[in-house]
Amino acid sequence: MEVLAFGVQADERPLIERAFAGHHDVRCLDVFLNADTAPIATGHEVISTSVNADLGPHVLETLAAGGTRMVAQRSTGYNNIDLDAAERLGMTVARVSSYSPHSVAEFAWTLAMAVNRRIVRAATRTRDFDFRLDGLMGRDMHGRTVGVLGTGKIGAAFTRIAHGHGMRLLGWDMAENPACLRLGMTYVPKDQLLAESDLVSLHVPLMPETQHLIDAAALKAMKDDAILVNSSRGGLVDTAALVAELRGGRFTGVGLDVYESEAGLFFLDKSLEAIEDDTLARLVTFPNVLVTSHQAYYTEDAVGQIVDATVRNVLDYTAGRPSENVLVPRS
């Protein structure tokens, strides 16, 4: 059987090909799955997709009509998949339930430090042999307060990093993580966390309940000189509201590895095109904002674990075995 993998990055391809070797043939495509590319999957029982694939009802119907019976998504998040439509069409859907939490946690901390210490601005200046320090002053994180929204595996890994830098730890989640409590974290209501934190980092999944978790009211509750980092899902932040606050001169820095309208933009080269997204275009003009292209997970360790789990999901499907990674079981 040949597995068709959509949205494969150049660095990712050898890992996927090596992992599938000896099990199934795999064909890697750099194009992303959407309504235009879905017909390519005709004749493939199993496909693999990336987090920015469009797996809405129309695409799923096209896939099912072409013979696809299993979707193996190479990510933990699955808000891009219409699970009800997949079940109605008799399609099995699996994801990667976990991978190295350190990849995302370390990147989130890197974003925070980059905006705090004005690293991008400093590097740009020195390339022009401008070695002035004006406008580059940052702050020590030691002794300041970090607020961690979501204290699962990634949030806990981020908490350990912040604890190692001597920060006061505040957390918000549906359930308290004993590992974070042992580090000295205090769980508080969201509004209190936002009001007291010098650094706010988001580590919660995107669900209807968390859509725009950081909305206009939440942004206004934050300190004027706070740092905001989002390495989870773009929809957690109301970007239009964030732009409005930035225009008012608020926040020391904002580090975003995700964006709520990133589909069709992130992972692609748009450097020679006019960007029609006015909100994103405005966002990247602020000197205290750093936007990266959903790369927090992108380490050899994490991607290797993601690929290995994807192969296991396909093997479990072909063998008819149950798996904790299955979102819609085989009918």
Active site residues: 233, 262, 294
Q: Mapping DSSP to helix (H, G, I), strand (E, B) and coil, where does residue 131 land?
A: coil
C-alpha span between 326 and 72 (Å, rounded) = 9
Q: What is the 3-state secondary structure (H, E, C) of 212-248?
A: CCECHHHHHHCCCCCEEEECCCHHHECHHHHHHHHHC
> Which residue bears the tokens 């975003």?
256
Which of these, 325, 322, 304, 302, lies nearest to 13 by C-alpha position?
304
Q: How many CB atoms lie within 10 A of CB 124?
A: 11
Instruction: Note whether 191 and 221 are within 8 A (CB).
Output: yes
Upper half-sphere CA count for residue 52 (Cβ side, 13 Å): 21
C-alpha span between 324 and 52 (Å, rounded) = 22
C-alpha span between 213 and 172 (Å, rounded) = 12
17: CB partners within 8 A, 6+ apart = 26, 28
